[in-house]
Structure 1
Amino acid sequence: MTDAVEATARLGEWVARLDAARAPGPVLDRLSLVLLDVIGVTALGAGLEDARAMRSAWNAPDGPAPLIGAGRRVSVDAAAWLNATALVSLELDEGNKYAKGHPAAHGFPAVLALAAEVDASGADTAAALLAAYEVASRFGRASRLRPGAHPHGSWGVAGAAAGCARLLGLGPEAVAAAIDTGAGLPVAGHFASATDGNPVRDAWMGASNISGLVAARMASAGSARNTGTAALSLGTLLGEFDPSELTEGLGDRWDIARGYFKRHASCSFTHPAADAVLDLRPGLDPSRITAVLVETHALAAGLASPRWDNRLSAMFSTPFAVAAALLHGEVGPRTSLEDPRLRALARRVRLVEADDLTARLPDERAARVTVALADGTTRIREVPNPVGDADHHPLDEWELLALLRRWLPGRGDLIGRAAAFARELPALDHAGDRLRELAGGDETKEPK
């Protein structure tokens, strides 16, 4: 407990004094890309029928914060929750293999909603976003969740709290108290909810962002304390917790520069296999494929079901991702789930763990794919990480924009505003109006 208290206190000092102007240039460049990705993917998720239905059921009052891509401005808490769930609903949000999850999604929606409310400066907003990411990632590194636990809504709440506390201008002790409070508000979600297609998995990310707001407000009110809660909540109850990870390389190592962007609408564990078959696809007739063997690491070995009954469960199926990549050349957000060819090919995909690939974690999330053909020949391809990983074919702004334009046809104006806002953020005197522009469209009517 003492170690957790001291480490959280050091994080509080670092966050309270974090100045975006002093961050290395490549870190700010990466923040711009992550922010662009967050905004674009949120707008894409906001267009889903489920997201529209949820906005209608919520019936949030008008307010200062944008529902990104949905044509409305609502209260801060509603925006934080609804934007967060839209962001993760298509499995296209940025992630980090060292954190073992999605640091940005845990806190960026809350920070952006709060920044719109307080009309924060661009510099303060950028610092708060960096704080949210770095603290979340460090808590992800420090946490070793029990087998079966899903990372959404657990270790990342501390990052959401850190970002919101930085935006409120709290001092070091109060920021530490907010971080500790956030660490005491985790969701204990089971990974099977994702593979079973239960949307509660998306709601865990909404809960993370609202809990981050709550933790920062408690600290602002003076009612929060730093007692090393993470050692008990993320440690004793949910797994194991190593406080030393919270401060390792603090101020020198920036985890935001080590993340990945996604080009497939599926769990990142499925991406190396999808990338491998895309490399094998030229000249390959899917109808002549008799079997596909996918060897993977231990973290991905559970995504083996060739059956799905909705998009969420499909996105957590490696057979789905491999079959979609082979048939369509992509695992897109609009891939038809009922295509009989897709289901038939998925049934020919077998997923197994390979010890040699597990041994390469966490630096590599590798996959080895063997495609067997009707003429008795095989084709083999191994990839060390998914395309889009900072360590393996990283995506630049041009490539991200190309993906967003393909996924969001007819929303070029919104994508342009998002790109400009992401690039210009640190220099803005006020971020509120620019953030509200990201709602897009007519305030009284959602885009069709």
Structure 2
Amino acid sequence: MSETAELARAVSTAIREATGLSAGPLVEPVRRHALHVVADTIGVSLAGGRTAEMTRLRESQLPAGGGATVWAPGAIPAPPEEAAFLNATAGSFLELDEGMRPTGHPAMHVVPAALAAAEVAHRSGAELLGAVVAGYEVAARLFTAFRLTPPTHPHGHLGGVGAAVAVALLLGEDPVAVAAIAATTPTVPVWNACYEGATARNTAMGLAAQNALRAARLHRAGFRGSPESVGALFGRVTGRVVDVDALAGAVDPARPAILRNYFKRHSACALTHGAIDAVLSLPAVPVEQITAVEVHTVANNLKLDRQAAPNDLSARFSLPYAVAAVLTARASDLSTFDYRPPVADLARLVSVGVDDELERQWPRHSPTRVVVHAGERLEASVTDPRGHHHDPLSMDEIHRKFLLLAGEPAPRLWDSLLALDRAPDVAGVLAPLREA
């Protein structure tokens, strides 16, 4: 048997193992955490949906009707594939969507697709939540099993396979077959688009969520996918296999992968968050007194050792810019990491390097040490950014983030989402958006 055939069997095994998570009630810690993941994902998408690009995109030839909901005030009805595309694309704009290590963002792929499928099929909230946890499990195992080769970016493909599993479970289709179709037709973006500030890059998660729903349609129409697609593409072309056992291991219903995610507090690439937290723990320093800044980190974060191009997306993917931004603002809010020339000037004083001791802790931890030279030497270290499962956010912190992001319907929508698993029909859960 060829290597890709063996990987295909392992991926199929992972999918079958994960589907068991949707078979019955989730254990309490998993249920509660999954509700927070769904709510956080929707809140992040709502905030991203207020950007000028997303507002214009929704207004541009949006199909009328269709049974699924675009997450925006008024809860715009749309066909499920279009709704999933718009919701996941919006969720990419502000770099606040949750994720997991080694590197991936399963929820913003899985939740928009799964919720659209659940709406049109009138599934219960409990069925939706189980499908989300199962789809997340598949995506997380794939991200663990394969290491992407730069410049391949982690949006759009492996997360989309997990989304296809969730959709198949909700629509009563074979998850292995539907996932194979999604894997045969992936979106594969590159980091270069982030560096340049090419905002079309934000559609990668949208295309993956859309593709998950389309894969179910293709399966119903008799199309077939290649089970070997994942192994061929991510084991040979755009990555390599690093942990095939991650695909084959049994699923522990009390400890699924969704419990090992991280929630983001800063509107910038996750690879910057350790440095941001370290800077924010230091005493304030007048910017004009800073002569140099050192960032000691892990090799994975060197992807962001670059100066920002003069736009907001590129700024969010520059580690020197992120450090300079919080040194300047002494805070982290939605606009902190927008591009500003004075911050870009300060960023040129920031150097980034790998520390061997820190490197040994990756990917279990993502440690960073920052040293600021400003007449005196100031130093701070973090083992993991706040929000990682080793240093998790409290429910109150997740709630406050949601209220900040979701806008006017936030309080009622939060209550509705936290009661999601008790809803007999998912279609009613987004009612607070319709009333906004």
* Bin of the TM-score, shorter chain as denominator length: over 0.9
Contact 1:183 1:233 in 2 (8 A): no
Task: Name the structure 2 match of 1:427.
Answer: 422
Q: 1:266·1:331 contact (CA, 8 Å) conserved in 2?
A: no
Distance of 1:352 and 1:366 partners within structure 2: 12
Give the residue type in structure 1 aligned to 2:411: G
TM-score normalised according to structure 1 size? 0.90
Residues 384-415 of structure 1 show CA distances to partners (whole Å, capped at 9, x for unaligned) of: 111111112x112211222233345xx24x22
Q: SS of the residue aligned with 2:10?
A: helix
SS of residue matched to 2:214? helix
Among residues 8, 11, 27, which one is paired with 2:11 in the alignment?
8
Match of 2:100 among 96, 99, 103: 96
Separation of aligned partners in 2, 1:58 and 1:139: 35
Q: Which residue of 142, 145, 167 corresponds with 1:142?
A: 145
Picking from 261, 268, 271, the partner of 1:269 is: 271
Shift of 1:283: 4.2
Letter in 2 for 1:429: P
Post-superposition CA distance 1:157-208 (Å, at most 9, x none): 21011000010123xxx21111222222222321111111111221111111
The CA deviation at 1:225 is 5.0
Match of 1:121 among 107, 119, 124: 124
Deviations 1:85-107 (A, max 9, x none): 10111000001014x11011122
Unpaired segments ≥5 residues, structure 1: 442-448
User: Is the 1:106–1:136 contact (alpha carbons within 8 Å) kept by the matching residues of 2?
Assistant: no
Equivalent residues of 1:7, 1:247 under 8 A apart? yes
User: SS state of the match for residue 424, structure 2?
Assistant: coil
User: What is aligned with 1:381?
Assistant: 380
Correspondences of 1:194-209 after superposition (within 5 Å): 194-209=194-209
Name the SS for the 1:302 alignment partner: helix
Cα displacement (A) at 1:340: 4.3
Aligned amino acid, residue 69 of structure 1 = A
**1:351 equivalent in structure 2:** 352
* Contact residue 112 and residue 435 of structure 1 kept, 8 A: no
Identity %: 33
- Measured against aligned partners, the alpha-carbon deviations of 1:281-302 in whole angstroms (never above 9, x if no partner) come to x343222111111111111112
Alpha-carbon shift at residue 84 of structure 1 (Å): 0.4
Distance 2:180 2:304 in 1: 33
Label 1:121 to 1:312 Cα distance change in 2 as closer, same or farther (>3 A). Answer: same
How far apart, in 2, do the equivalents of 1:134 and 1:417 lie?
Answer: 29
The whole-number CA distance in structure 1 between the counterparts of 2:61 and 2:84 is 13
- Structure 1 residues 177 and 20: CA distance shift in structure 2, 3 A: closer
Please state whether the residue corresponding to 1:371 is helix, strand or coil: strand
Give the SS at the match of 1:188. coil
Q: What TM-score comes out, normalization by structure 2 length?
A: 0.93
The 8 Å contact of residues 14 and 249 in structure 2, kept in 1 or not, is answered as no
Q: How does 1:286-305 map onto structure 2 within 5 Å?
A: 286-305=287-306
Instruction: Tell me the residue number matched to 1:219.
Output: 219
Alpha-carbon distance in 1 for matches of 2:270, 2:399: 20
Q: Which sections of structure 2, spanning at least 5 residues, go unmatched?
A: none
The one-letter code sitting in structure 1 at the alignment partner of 2:250 is G
In the alignment, is residue 105 of structure 1 matched against residue 111 of structure 2?
no
- Residues 134 and 255 in structure 1, CA contact (< 8 A), matched pair in contact too: yes
Q: Distance in 2 between matches of 1:180 and 1:79?
A: 22
Alpha-carbon distance, 1:25 to partner: 1.2
CA-CA distance at 1:16 after TM superposition = 4.5
Structure 1 residues 286, 388: CA separation in 2 closer, same or farther (over 3 Å shift)? same
List structure 1 runs of 4+ shifted beyond 6 angstroms: none
Equivalent residue pairs, number: 430
Match of 1:341 in 2: 342
CA separation in 2, counterparts of 1:383 and 1:20?
39
The amino acid of 1:89's aligned partner reads F
3-state SS of the aligned residue for 1:382? strand
